[in-house]
Amino acid sequence: MELTAKFLAQLLKGSVEGDENAVATKFAKIEHGKPGTLSFYANPKYEPFVYTSQASILIVGKDFQPKEAVKPTMVRVENAYSAIADLLKYVADKKKKARRHRSLRARWFLSTKFGKKVYVGAFSFVGHHTTVGDNTIIYEHVYIGDDCKIGRNCIFCPGVRIYPGMVIGDNVILHSGVTIGADGFGNAPRPDGSWEKIEHLGNVVIGNDVEIGANSTVDRAQMESTIIGNGVRIDNLCMIAHNVIIGDHTAMAAQTGIAGSTVVGKYCIFGGQVGIAGHVKIADHTTICAQGGVIGNIRKEGEVLVGSPVMDAKKYMKAYALFKRAADEN
């Protein structure tokens, strides 16, 4: 796709500084900018690359004042991060083909109900009494069980598995290998030390505008529902156990694991490899840094927590300084 500086300024509501006919056909990080590429500058630590970049077009904030000559044509926008996000979405949407096709090598039933312009790829399966909303894309080798409710404008990448009875909202993206609705890890000990499986008869309810990364899993509830709120972002290789509730707009990085029946508030942020014990409650706007371990309730909103078990970040750094000094002295 060819993008001119003039078009970008119109699309992103910015202004051109340089050649408005400059053309870019690819994206590149600012440090790798070459002729024919488009880059952006938003983080001050990358400013030296602004003056060495060979990119054809550079998106910058309207307040940026260069200290040296800048070779690329600059498109000035209100916020460079937001602008590049909007542009990437625009390009991705353009690349999506208008899909109306349902492959003859896929399988569905008379009781399956499809909305308008639904795409179903080869070797995918959509079960009895399942409904799929308008403009949803079901790529190849996807399994969707019976009695599911799937919203509009969803994208299910190859290899997604959705068990029967799941409910998924609008604008949901599930990446390859995601499994929604497997049984939770529920086992009762027998007198002889062996384990008896506890059946899980609930489901998973996923809100609108949710994205779940590759090979992540969300288990069905033992009873009632495991709930993923609106706007939630879940990275690759995350584990959400049975009966967990994730509040709206919470985000978690890769390898986060949340044990059963935990309630996570809204607008929380979890770094990579965060582990959360079962049956705890986490307040809204909580930030847990990478490899943080949560073993009890977090009641105060807006805390930034570090360590395992987690504690206030400032207290943790003071404690870290003390035990590091003790180790150095020995």
* Collapsed DSSP state (helix, strand, coil) of residue 47: helix
Cβ atoms within 10 Å of 58's Cβ, excluding its own: 29
Residue 96 per-residue DSSP state: S
- Catalytic entry in 175, 200, 242, 285: 242
Helix (H) or strand (E) holding 119: strand 119-120
Q: How far apart are CA 235 and CA 203, in angstroms?
A: 21
Has 128 been annotated as catalytic?
A: no
* Residue from 257, 278, 270, 280 nearest 303 by CA: 270
- Asked if residue 282 lies in contact with residue 300, where contact means CB atoms within 8 angstroms, the answer is no
Q: Which residues of 117-153 are buried (b: 16+ CB within 10 A; e: fewer)?
A: ebbbbeebbbbeebebbebbbbbebbbbbeebbbbbb
Q: How far apart are CA 52 and CA 299, in angstroms?
A: 49
Q: Residues 86, 87, 88, 91: what is their CA dihedral angle, to the nearest 10 degrees?
A: 120
Q: Residues 251, 185, 301, 267: what is their CA dihedral angle, to the nearest 10 degrees?
A: 20
- Asked if residue 312 lies in contact with residue 294, where contact means CB atoms within 8 angstroms, the answer is no
Tell me which residues are annotated as active site: 242
